[in-house]
Amino acid sequence: MPLTGVTGSCHIFCKESVDQCAEETARLRETIDSLKVSKENSVDVLMKHVLREFLTKMNIDLTKGDEDIYKMAHVTLSTENLRLIKKYLASTKISDEFSLREDIRFALENFIVEADHRSESSLFSMLHSILPYVTMLNILILPVALMVVVRSIFSVRQLLLVVLVGSFFVSCYFTYARKYQEILAQRFERVERKLQDHCTPGTSK
């Protein structure tokens, strides 16, 4: 009987220990999950803050609608801020990231600013908007300019002679190419005919 009582007590004690261990494990898992969520939220808040500061320093208004924005930026980083950024990017522990996050936020507040305030009607924006039309105009003007240059070098008689000689050589080239293709086609046709005759049953080898 005493042995049975000791065994029962050990069984109850082991069961309580297992239950307590399971509770501690569940509590630890909840703590880890909450830390992960808080880390993701803090990273998201930091990213939004830094991005909002960038847009403010660049004088970019997102309420104006979807349109192209062309601005010149001036980037400034002190030695201390650069050291903090390197340390933050190289950190692997969550505790280090939390301790450095606020310093990084302050370091990046004046990291980038607009170098030259330009309105939407500035010369830079206007030139950028008409750039495709300038390219098309250059393509149209190029043949005319080429003719003017050639006309200034050659006289009318020399220009006609150059055109005739050039046309003659171009005609000879295309004639030769056409004849060469015809000869190649005839050769391929003869080879194909020989192969068909060779593979036809009843033909002599």
Provide the 10 A C-beta neighbour count for residue 68: 7
Identify the residue with better confidence: 5 or 191: 191
Instruction: Give 107-166 pLDDT, tens digit per residue.
Output: 777 777 777 655 444 566 666 677 778 888 888 888 888 878 877 887 777 778 878 888
Structure tokens at 118: 């330009």
For residue 96 the two structure tokens come to 């280090």
Domain borders along the chain are: 2-117, 126-199
User: Dihedral (C-alpha) 188, 190, 194, 196: value to the nearest 10 degrees?
Assistant: 70
Distance (Å, rounded) from C-alpha 75 to C-alpha 57?
Answer: 11
> What percent of the chain has pLDDT above 90?
0
Segment among 4-13, 16-25, 63-72 with least mean pLDDT: 4-13
Query: At which residue do the structure tokens 């029962």 appear?
Result: 8
Q: Can you tell me the distance from the alpha carbon of 85 to that of 97, in angstroms, rounded to the nearest whole number?
A: 11
